[in-house]
Structure 1
Amino acid sequence: MGDHHSTANAGPATVTGGAAGAVDMADAPEGFVPLRVKHVIPETRDAVSIVLDVPRGSAARFGYQAGQFLTLLVRVDGREYRRCYSMSSSPAVGEDLRITVKRDRGGAVSNWLNDTAAPGDLLYALPPQGRFVLNDTGRDLVAFAGGSGITPVFSLLRTALVSGTRGARLFYANRNRDAVIFDEALKTLEKRHADRFVLHHHLDDQRGFATQADIAAFVENTDGADFYVCGPNEFMDTVRTALGAAGVPTGRLHIEHFDVTDVAAAAPPETDAVTDEVTIVLDGSTTTAPYYAGNTLLQTARMAGLRAPSSCEIGSCGTCMGRLTQGSARMINNDALDQDEVDDGWVLTCQAVPTSPTVRVVYE
């Protein structure tokens, strides 16, 4: 996951910066844990990996699966941001927790981390989350990564190759050779697992953008595999369309979004419906709360004093998902649920605005 956009101007600030502009925090916000930066590793001109030290008392909470992400809470220039960054480390090899951050044009946090993060800094994070993880099937792994979308994919590949006997294939698209993150590490992985790992680099400056034909050629003779895709939206759309045409079952296709809309600036969907109240089922208890126009279901739950689950709050991680059992709602942004889940009534409550007089949402 990349530099997701979610901002707020109030509430607890959360980060110590580098030597310039450091913000000292007395306490971490509720749910967030202070992680100390151990090392900052340049990966490319526009990307760094940040190795984090997890406090001993929080080690169990920060156990993770390959492909998951951390949600950081950061204050930059007086503004508070939540950002989700995937782990590039692998839980299968016993190494320190590590995220990789690519500089995003206009991205306040990604630029801040690339420019100023240093050993000794504190970054506040929620425990790992995410559904972009390996299935316990033993099936071969076919992965497609575009740009910094390699971050969770790299963790998945290393874990699959180290902890099992499954084969793996990677189609990795970048603008040019200089933009390739983990270039040397991928070469090492290719040599170490030459009998099980196939690596294909697609460089736009040499071949143009990846096409459906490129994807189709890469997935020949991969029947029975699990497919993982992470990258910019256009790249993922191309891959998804090509895989669909190749007959890949949706149940074997795993998508991780990181290139998302600036949700903070997005307006709620217009609706003529006047919603009076929202019924929320959380942890087996039912609460009926008044609804105030423009609020999301998550905001409504909080105003009712409920501690509903959430993380990124930009419609990307899926932590806040709930099922509508009565009424309807529209989502401002959805980068976590597939169409089958939406058809089954699932919504991202951080993005869902009611469009019916009454709504009932169940957190399961």
Structure 2
Amino acid sequence: MARPPSFQRATVTRIIKESADSRSFILAPHDEPLVYQAGQFCTFRVPVDGKNLYRSYSMSSAPETDGELMTTVKRVPGGQVSNWLHDNVSEGDALEMSRAAGRFCLRPAVVPLLGFSGGSGITPVLSLTKSALASTDRQVRLLCADRDQPSVLFEAALRELAERYPGRLEVIRHLDSDRGFLTPDQVRAFVGADAHADAYVCGPEAFMEMIENALPGPGLVFSERFGAPAPGITAAAPAVAELADSMARPDPAAASPPAPAAPAASDAGGTVTIFLDRKTASVPTRAGETLLQAARRAGLTPPFSCEQGNCATCMARITEGSATMTVNDALTDDEVADGYVLTCQAVPDSPTVTVRYE
């Protein structure tokens, strides 16, 4: 059964300095333990300058191995939320966080697992590594690319995992400062005889695209993309822009990305009705306009973050009519069957649509 989106408070019990610009926050939810899978993320609601901003961060913990919940945030120059978390949150403070979401999870398999991470893309890859080592007999091999040694994350944690699971975990570090950017030939050399393995890829878009194109196959490839699409990347492939970016979706120098302009066409003969925060508004349907855009046009302030179908911050439920999502990298099949949509991706395909933000 699908669960409606909601936020609960969680106390920050500890803060760990992972690098000069990265912090891990150990969280203790107030209401109930967070149920999550390795590789998933949570959305955080943070008050910045009198406004609630929403950013999603991956878990660096794994339920099979960690009794504590941990998320890791890298400071982004100009990033509103990452800087606020680094500068304002202390041990004992409380944050608001959503349920877990995301599909960057382990599939049942016995083939080796190859992890490719660029910068802070190691965050969900670490979670997956912990889970695979603890719950399966699979071999795990990681190729981690970082800008330089001070930028390296989780070096001690991965070393401890290698000692705990001897012969099952291999970690190869690639520092751009020493060897230049990672190349397709180096990727193929790393893969070696494991071309049939499952590959999990997370990092900047250019890095991920290079990895995906270099992998020789026939193994399956699973990718986790964050933030707004880079130039030339279609809406079906949202991406991060820089190696230095945190795992937020997104946390760029500006606030949330601007919404695509609504079509110039007038109403298409239907009506969109939105229920949000005890308010109700209706607007004529516009061809090609998403439910999120319709809610804004109606004068409401719906929640959103990535606007790329990744984070589930804009999740709402259709109670009348129907809509089709262009991208869905966050909702489960059960949630979709129960009427939930990502409003940033959902375009009405019936004359009348009613949507409720819960």
How would you bin the TM-score normalised by the shorter chain?
0.7 to 0.9
Change in 2 beyond 3 A, CA 1:204/1:313: closer
Partner of 2:241: none
Mapped partners of 2:108, 2:256: distance in 1: 37
Say whether residues 1:79 and 2:51 are aligned partners.
Answer: yes
1:116 alignment partner in structure 2: 88
Matching residue of 2:232: none
Separation in 1 of the partners of 2:64 and 2:94?
Answer: 25
Q: How far did 1:296 drift?
A: 2.3
Which residue of the partner structure matches residue 179 of structure 1?
151
Identity in percent: 36
Determine the C-alpha separation between the residues in 1 that align with 2:353 and 2:223: 28
1:159-308 matches, cutoff 5 A? 159-243=131-215, 246-248=216-218, 252-260=220-228, 264-269=256-261, 271=263, 273-274=265-266, 275-277=268-270, 290-293=283-286, 296-298=290-292, 300=294
Query: Does residue 1:48 correspond to 2:41, yes or no?
Result: no
CA contact (8 A) 1:141 1:169 kept: yes
SS in 1 for 2:43: strand
Counterpart Cα distance in 1 of 2:47 and 2:108: 38
Instruction: Report the alpha carbon displacement of residue 258 of structure 1 after superposing the two structures with TM.
Output: 2.3
Shift of 1:269: 4.7
Q: Tell me the amino acid that sits aligned with residue 175 of structure 1.
A: R
Task: Choose the corresponding residue for 1:314, options 307, 313, 333.
Answer: 307
Query: Retained in 2: the 8 A contact 1:273–1:356?
Result: no
State the 1:129 CA deviation: 0.9
**Aligned partner letter, 1:72:** F
Contact 2:309-2:344 within 8 A present in 1 as well: no
Q: 1:348 to 1:68 in 2, by over 3 A?
A: same
What's the counterpart of residue 12 of structure 2?
Answer: 37
Deviation, structure 1 residue 171: 0.7
Letter of the aligned partner of 2:270 in structure 1? E
The answer for the alignment partner of 1:63 in structure 2 is 35
In structure 2, the partner of 1:17 is none
Once residues 57 and 317 of structure 2 are traced to their aligned partners in structure 1, the CA distance between those partners, rounded to angstroms, is 23
- The CA deviation string for residues 285-331 of structure 1, in whole angstroms up to 9 with x for no partner, is xxxx7535595224547999xxx9x87453242644999x99988x6
Residue of structure 2 in register with 1:7 after alignment: none
Answering whether residue 82 of structure 2 is matched by residue 89 of structure 1, we say no
The corresponding residue for 1:12 is none
Distance 1:328 1:97 in 2: 34
8 Å CA contact 2:43, 2:311 repeated in 1: no
Q: Deviations over 1:66-105 (max 9, x none)?
A: 0011100001122321000111011012421010000111
CA deviation digits over 1:133-173, x for unaligned, max 9? 11122332111111111111101001111122111010100
The one-letter code matched in structure 2 to 1:247 is G
Query: Partners of 2:66 and 2:202 in 1: how far apart?
Result: 24
2: distance between equivalents of 1:362 and 1:108?
A: 30
Contact (CA 8 Å) 2:56, 2:311: kept in 1 or not? no
Q: TM-score, normalised by structure 2?
A: 0.73
Question: Could you say what secondary structure the match of 1:124 adopts?
Answer: strand
Once superposed, what is the RMSD of the aligned Cα atoms? 3.6
What's the secondary structure of 1:276's corresponding residue?
A: strand
Tell me, which stretches of 5 or more residues in structure 2 are unaligned? 230-251, 274-281, 331-339
The 1:271/1:103 distance shift into structure 2, 3 A limit, reads: same
Letter in 2 for 1:58: E
Counterpart-to-counterpart distance in 1, 2:54 and 2:143: 30
Measured in 2, the distance between the counterparts of 1:314 and 1:327 equals 16
Rounded to whole Å, the distance in 1 between the matches of 2:151 and 2:222 is 24
Q: Is the contact made by 2:14 and 2:25 (CA closer than 8 Å) also made in structure 1? A: yes
Provide the C-alpha distance between the structure 1 equivalents of 2:56 and 2:322, rounded to a whole number of angstroms. Answer: 31
Q: 1:131 aligns with which of 103, 115, 132?
A: 103
Residue in 1 that maps onto 2:245: none
Paired AA for residue 256 in structure 2: A
Distance (Å, rounded) in 2 between the aligned partners of 1:88 and 1:248: 29
For normalisation by structure 1, the TM-score amounts to 0.72
Is the Cα contact below 8 Å between 1:268 and 1:353 reproduced in 2?
Answer: no
Shift of 1:271: 3.8
- Partners of 1:355 and 1:311 lie apart in 2 by 18
3-state SS of 1:33 partner: strand
Answer whether contact 1:170 1:200 (CA < 8 A) is retained. yes
- Unpaired segments of 5 or more residues in structure 1? 1-29, 281-288, 338-346
